Amino acid sequence: MKTIPFWMIAMAYLWCAVDVSHGMLLTTSCMTFEEDYNFKEDKFDGTWYEVRRLNDHNATQHEDCVVMNYKLGEKGSFEIRESYQVGDESAPIYRSGKAEPKVFQDARIPKFLERFNTTDPADPDISIDIVATDYSSYAVVYSCTSINSTHHIESAWVLSRQPALAKNVVELVNLFLESRFTRDDHKWRATIHTADYCKPTSVETLPVYGAGNRIPVLSIPVVLLGMLLVRLFF
Ligand SMILES: *[C@@H]1O[C@H](CO)[C@@H](O)[C@H](O)[C@H]1NC(C)=O
Ligand SMILES: *[C@@H]1O[C@H](CO)[C@@H](O)[C@H](O)[C@H]1NC(C)=O
Ligand SMILES: *[C@@H]1O[C@H](CO)[C@@H](O)[C@H](O)[C@H]1NC(C)=O
């Protein structure tokens, strides 16, 4: 058996590394957000569609049809299931991951460390800040992770509860992005979500767990029945 030369492995690795853009930009300083709000983890879980991504404009291939499911776990962590597509020929590609809260107590905005099962063991956990959300229609997520003593990789995503942002929040989200992401290389790309382009993904059919999205369990007839039973037995 012939062994594969090391350079071929190295080339294949490099090729994979540059092949698909994860929307990462290189920066020497992370942005800081002055937002301050009380994050409610249980209202954040459920399905989110990535509708925009801060984009490296040199990228030739993109992740589209990005759908994720956040499931609230222990101590404010999230289990994440995600699927995306690269090109319209591709089948959905699945990955799973975990987001652990970082300095949860005194953070002004919720910060997490995220790792997917597809992450190279040599790569650091990705830092994730949920810089804005109304839980029910949109979220803006910012990521800035140190890669060496001088540089960080930066990315950001706009998430939506629907494959397109609700009309009443488009203006709000645009204003937020325009006022915060002001660098020349801060260019946004719309993530494709059209039905003819995106294949069905099992992530969309995953259950929704948290209190924020759950249909109220106690409907009025149930409450009335309960009151009736109390009357009958006491
Ligand atoms: C992207 O392309 C431009 C020219 O089109 C070049 O000046 C720039 O250095 C490139 N950036 C990266 C990160 O490769
Ligand atoms: C990552 O997780 C997804 C979803 O659970 C799974 O389909 C995929 O095979 C996993 N990939 C690796 C490299 O473990
Ligand atoms: C850090 O990484 C960037 C991008 O790969 C590189 O340009 C820079 O020279 C590196 N800095 C140090 C101190 O290694």
Find out whether 110 and 130 touch, Cβ atoms under 8 Å.
Answer: yes
Pocket test for ligand 2, best of 84, 93, 94 (most atoms within 8 A of CB): 94
Q: What is the mean pLDDT of the chain?
A: 84
Give me the domain span that covers residue 70: 22-190
Find out whether 159 and 138 touch, Cβ atoms under 8 Å.
Answer: yes
Find out whether 74 and 63 touch, Cβ atoms under 8 Å.
Answer: no
Q: State the total domains in the chain.
A: 1
Using DSSP, state whether 121 is helix, strand or coil. coil
Residue 64 forms part of a structural domain: yes
DSSP notation for 205-225: GS---STTTSPPSS-HHHHHH
CATH code for position 130: 2.40.128.20
Query: Whole-model pTM?
Result: 0.80
Residue 214 forms part of a structural domain: no
Closest residue to atom 3 of ligand 3, CA basis: 151
Residue 177 forms part of a structural domain: yes
Residue 180 forms part of a structural domain: yes
- Of 25, 57, 37, 1, which Cα lies nearest the Cα of 151? 25
Residue 17 forms part of a structural domain: no
Rounded Cα gap, residues 11 and 108, in angstroms: 43
Which ligand is closest to the CA of 149, given by its number? 3
Tokens read off for 130: 């949920």
Residue 2 forms part of a structural domain: no
Find out whether 142 and 127 touch, Cβ atoms under 8 Å.
Answer: no
Residue 221 forms part of a structural domain: no
CB distance 17 to ligand 3 below 6 Å:
no
Residue 124 forms part of a structural domain: yes
Mean pLDDT calculated for residue range 31-41: 88
Distance 156 CA to ligand 3 centre (A): 21
CB distance 211 to ligand 3 below 6 Å:
no
What per-residue confidence (pLDDT) applies to 228?
57
Rounded Cα gap, residues 136 and 161, in angstroms: 7
102-160 confidence digits (pLDDT tens): 865 566 789 999 999 999 999 999 999 999 999 999 999 999 999 999 999 999 999 99
What per-residue confidence (pLDDT) applies to 40?
92
